[in-house]
Amino acid sequence: MTTEGTTLSARTVAARLTGFALLLVLLDAGAGRLLDAVHATVGKGQLVGEVNSAIRSRADVLVLGASTALHHYDDRALTDRLGLRVFAGGVNGRGVIFSRGLLALVAAVHPPRLVVFDVSYSDRDRTSAQLLSPFYGHDPTVTGILARDWRNRVKLASHVYRYNGLLLPMLSNRGTPPMTWGYEPLDGALPADAAPGGAPRPDDGLGPWFERELRQLVNDARRLGARIVFVESPTWGGRIGPRAMAAYERVAREMDVPFHHLTPERCPELAHATLYRDRVHLNHLGATIFTRRVADLVEQELARPAPTPVARPAPGAPR
């Protein structure tokens, strides 16, 4: 195909392209504000509602992590037992980086006394924190996490881009009040004779950055005056990969973070296949039993002397 015989003048093209660019900028600003307003009204749903509900929970004990943090911790039962507001703030497929951001957002409203970090390795593609992008520019920790890469900074300059992938979940859950509890029970059970086993979950892509982020999470919690504990959730053979686990062990040891392995090997009451929905997740009955163990553990942690708060880094210091 040829473009001989030009029909558009340079002035027409320049005017059209300039007009198009200006309209884009104006629409981005306008639609961005509209999306901000809608986002604030979403209280339900995994992608947006879970985050908004965690922020507004005013939790004293905040559970962070991925799907096991979402499906294993019955926060209503924990709240009843402990007399403290507990919120299960796990979000499917999210890991340490996302948890750092969520902790900062929650603490900006009400700093928790204890952070229970359910260990996982879900940061493989490092896009898991993108869920926090509606808060870009509002919170320094979230902004720091998202603006790490120049490509992301360019994209996030668009206000609307901060809602990339979130429009439909927002529209379908708009106008819903925040969830009181984050816990999501799972139905189903493995057969009673199902043997535990299988390969550990993959931890490919893990590098020094992972441990750096983990240390930062511990420091962030302590700077907020909160204690932090690591918990390894029980699985029926689906433990996290050995390199990720080694990183958790190392950070826990070096930073004096209590690390509780609530695995079936150490908790005989959880060593029954029927308590598991699949290799990685407990069902509701399993979660109920697990929650009792967690309640003991939280009580024990809160009874310990308060940790020394870590000083906030000086402005301009590397994060």
| Residue numbers at the binding site for another protein (CB under 8 A) | 1-3, 6-14, 16-17, 19-20, 23-24, 27-28, 31, 125, 127, 130, 150-151, 154-155, 158, 160-161, 163-165, 167-169
Nearer to another protein, 130 or 283 (CB): 130
Nearer to another protein, 16 or 138 (CB): 16
**φ and ψ at residue 310, rounded to 5 degrees:** -85, 135
Nearer to another protein, 169 or 241 (CB): 169
Q: For residues 118 and 73, is the Cβ–Cβ distance under 8 A?
A: yes
Helices and strands per DSSP (H, E), number in the chain: 11, 5
Nearer to another protein, 27 or 40 (CB): 27
Give the pair of three-digit tokens for residue 71. 């499906």
Nearer to another protein, 160 or 271 (CB): 160
Nearer to another protein, 9 or 308 (CB): 9
Question: How would you list the strands of the sheet with 227-232, edge to edge?
Answer: 86-88, 61-64, 114-118, 227-232, 259-261
Q: For residues 112 and 62, is the Cβ–Cβ distance under 8 A?
A: yes
CB of 179 to another protein, least distance (A): 18
Residue 212: CB atoms within 10 A of its CB come to 14
Nearer to another protein, 179 or 224 (CB): 179
Q: Which residues contact 252 (CB under 8 A, 6 or more apart)?
A: 230, 258, 259
Best CA proximity match to 130, nearest among 151, 114, 116, 109:
151
**DSSP secondary-structure letter at 198?**
-
Ramachandran quadrant class, 299 (left: phi over 0; alpha: psi -120 to 50; beta: rest) = alpha
Nearer to another protein, 3 or 308 (CB): 3
CB of 22 to another protein, least distance (A): 11
Give the pair of three-digit tokens for residue 41. 């009204």
CB of 167 to another protein, least distance (A): 5
Residue 164: CB atoms within 10 A of its CB come to 12
Q: Nearest 10 degrees: CA dihedral of 114, 51, 278, 288?
A: 50
3-state SS assignment for residue 259: strand
